[in-house]
Structures are given as C-alpha cells and as structure tokens.
Structure 1
Amino acid sequence: MLVDSHCHLDRIDLSPYNGDLGAAIAAAEERGVSRMLCIGIDLNNAGRVVEIAQQFDNIYASVGIHPLDISDEVCGVSTLLELAAQNKVVAIGETGLDYYYSSDNKSAQQESFAHHLQASAQCGKPVIVHTREAREDTLALIREHGDPATAGVLHCFTESWEMASAAMEMGYYVSFSGIITFKNAQELRDVVKKMPMDRLLVETDSPYLAPVPFRGKKNEPKYVCEVAACVAEIKGLTLEEVAERTTANFNQLFAL
C-alpha cells in the first residue's frame, strides 16, 4: 500500500484513459497506490482540486498559491483559511520560495509564504513547501511564522542534507520524487540514504518528473511505485517496508 503524497490530478494526461480521471486513479490503485494528495497551486484551480478530492474516496486536496503563480495582489490569510475549511482539504499549499525561476519578486514570494504559514498555524493543517535555491530564506520564514504543531513537508526535495536536517528539527517531513531515479542525482540519493524513515515521504509531482524508466513521458500517480522502489534500493529495505512506513508517515502528517 503506497501513497502519492503530491500530484496534480487536474493536470495529468488522460489521453491513455479516454479522458477518464477515474480510470487513471484506478490504474494507480491496481499498483497498490491507496491514497493521493491533489495539490492546489492558485486560486483558479482550488475549486477543481477540491472537487476531485470530494469525488473520490481515496483522494485528498491541498489549497494554496505556488510561488511562481503569485498574482499582483498577495493572497491573504483569511482567504486561505476559507479555502482550507472545505471538506477533504488536509493541507495548506503548495507555497514556498523559488528563486531559480523567479528572483525579481522575492518580497512578494516571502509575504505569500508567510501568509500560508500563518494560515497553517491558525487552522491546524500542515503546510506543503516548494523550495528552490532559497534555502536560508525558506528556513528563516518557517522559523519566524510557522508553528511546530502544524509543521508540514518539503516536497520534491532537491536540496542539501543540511537543509533537510534543519527542516526535520522543526518537525518537517521530506518528500522525494522521481528525480532520485535520474542518473545525475547521486547527491540527492545520498540525502535519501541519510534520511530517517519516520520522516520520509514519496511522491510523483505528476504530470512532471516521471521516474526512470518512464523519464521523458508524462508522469502519473501509478509511477510512485518506481520512486518507492528506488528508496528501498538506497536504504536496503523491501518495497513493502518502504510502502508501509511512508504510508504511515502520510497518515500521521495529514491526520488521516
């Protein structure tokens, strides 16, 4: 039993399933993927991700504004709290900082991230953090505005062991995607090797970052099996052990 802890079900390619999202979800279930978290990235898709979660028993949703989707007006805490109060919403985000693709609006990204952290603290739901080339600011804002009681997850992690350690000290989980299967990702696999299993999650981030041997194709939740298998190989565990532990971590983090 596996969980895809981060996927964009409103964006995956449904052409292999004749446009039927239910069939794509069933394909994941056939490979033992028992739950999926469908991620919100802006106000425009918040309604759709919640609708998907409410339509399928094994799907949950998050709501938030991705750092690369911030509009001219930063979303306020009250709006985030209204979105988070909906049925099947278990998390705030994805939010965070991305200075790799966008470094000219750092102040807006930081304000938005702070609002998400504050909303998380107020509603008691964990926060899903996207971070890229913003290690110091990400950790500093979590320390300043986050609540350890609602610590969340650094998703699709590609940063250093030092950052992972600092986040875990603040109660965070760390999630790994298909990137760990890529040939040039040895440094990231070294981070996985050091990770305690009680703080580790797996994800697809589909439709992006399909793992080997599907790299270059459109990603989907059923491929989280390949991510988990890679973790198992790195850690010297069985796939079943990784599935059991990461599923328990997911349920613990999102209070399921």
Structure 2
Amino acid sequence: MSIMKKTSLFAMLIMVMLVAAACGDKADNNAKSNDSTAAESTTAGTDDAASKSDDTDKTSETGTDSTNTSSEENNASDDTSKVELGTTQKGSYTNDYFGVSLKFPEAWQFQDAEGMNELTSATSEVIAGDDATKKKQIELSQAKTLNLLMASQYPLDGSKVGPSAMAIAEKVSLLQGILTGKDYLKATKKFMEDSNFPYEYKDFTTETIGGKKMDLMQITMDAGDGTTITQDYYSTIIEGYAFNFIFTYMDEQTKSEIDNIKKSVQFK
C-alpha cells in the first residue's frame, strides 16, 4: 500500500482510537485505586448500609420504583440514550446534542454514521496489523466512539488524498484523566508516537472556533511525492464527550477550503 493511501486511512481512523491507549495505561492504576478505596471504605460500611436502608424505606413509603431510579442515575452518568449522531446533508452538518453546525462544499463526498463505521472497521485492520494489543485498544475505543461526520473532496476510499473534514466524539471519564481537549490530544499524540506514525508535531495551542475554545494539535507528514499533508486536530469536552474535529489539507488552496469550513462552524 502506498504512503499516500496509508496516510489517508490514518486520517480517517486515528481519532476513533485515541483514548484507548491512555485508558489501557491507566487501567491498572485505576484498579489499584479502587482496591484501596474499597479497603478504606470498610470502616464506614455500617454507616453506608444504614444510609442505604433509610433510603430504601423512604423509597417504599413514596412508592418510587427503585429500578427506574437506578436507570435514571445511569442515564445521568451516561447520556448515550440522549445522544444523536446529527444530520448530514449535501453541504452541511448539524447536531443538536452537541450544539454544533457547519457547512462544507456541496460537491464534496460525505458518509453517514453507518458508512463511517464500515470504513473505520475496515481501516482498523490496516492500522493494527498483527498487533493484538493495538487491535484490542481500537476495538475498545470504537465501542465508545460516535462517528458524526466525514466529508472529503474525493471519494472516501483512501485512493486519493484531498482536503477533508471529520467530526468524532468519544465518551470519556475523569478516571481516564481526560479533563480537557488537551488531555485527549496528548493521548492521541502518545498513541501516534507509540505506533511510529511518521508525523511531525507542533506545540499544542488553543483556538476559538464557532465561539468555542478548542485545543489544537497540528501535525504534518511528507507524502513522499513532494506533498506535505497537514492535519489540524481540535478537541474539547462537551457533555462528557471529547468532541473532535480533524481538518486535512495539502497546500494554500486546500487550506483555504478548510478555513471556510472552520469559519462556518457554529456552537450554540
């Protein structure tokens, strides 16, 4: 497979598997932390049990369904039941849950969520190769990832690289150490470096897009034919999700097209 095509595939998939690497590194620490917490809470077990018993009595008195209460609590911590993938039409994308909209050239190709899922599943085989650990990381990340938008000047099969715009969101938690968009991008960079992607990285910066501050990581890659591919990775935390844009361009002309898309972004 050519460097150019591999680069396109990386661009399409990389944001789907960002936090998985960081989560894997933190899993053992979290487990140890949980064990420690469990041990510390033993002395308070009697009080906790009494408190729960009181709550149960109150629930019975009021006739509240405890199953429904539990469900509501789960939904409060995991809003997947409310999340929407948004609407992609010719030249535009809107998503009320994340409160975002943007426009892209009407002549561009685009994929819906189902098409993106199929594409990223196929591409994951290229990224992971025979590395079972990396494959597991990708699978874990894909399970929590919302593929929202994929629009490109050229067909999205990786055969030709052109300017493109993507939007992806991934469920994160404080336990993962992902508190800001910058934290998410740091995990991205680590994954890329560990995977030996041939990228050059610029310093993290912050930029306002559509009225919202987003952390930015810019990377470049030599495509091997005199072309330099630039990708701007934007990230911010919205409703417990790392919401991300990836904009890809090659030269001043394609950068101008991407700049127009950025200017069209609006957050409510």
User: What interval of TM-score do these two structures reach, taking the shorter chain for normalisation?
Assistant: under 0.3
If asked which structure has higher relative contact order (CA below 8 Å, sep 6+), I would say 2
**Bigger radius of gyration, 1 or 2?**
2
TM-score of the aligned structures, taking structure 1 as reference length: 0.26
TM-score of the aligned structures, taking structure 2 as reference length: 0.25
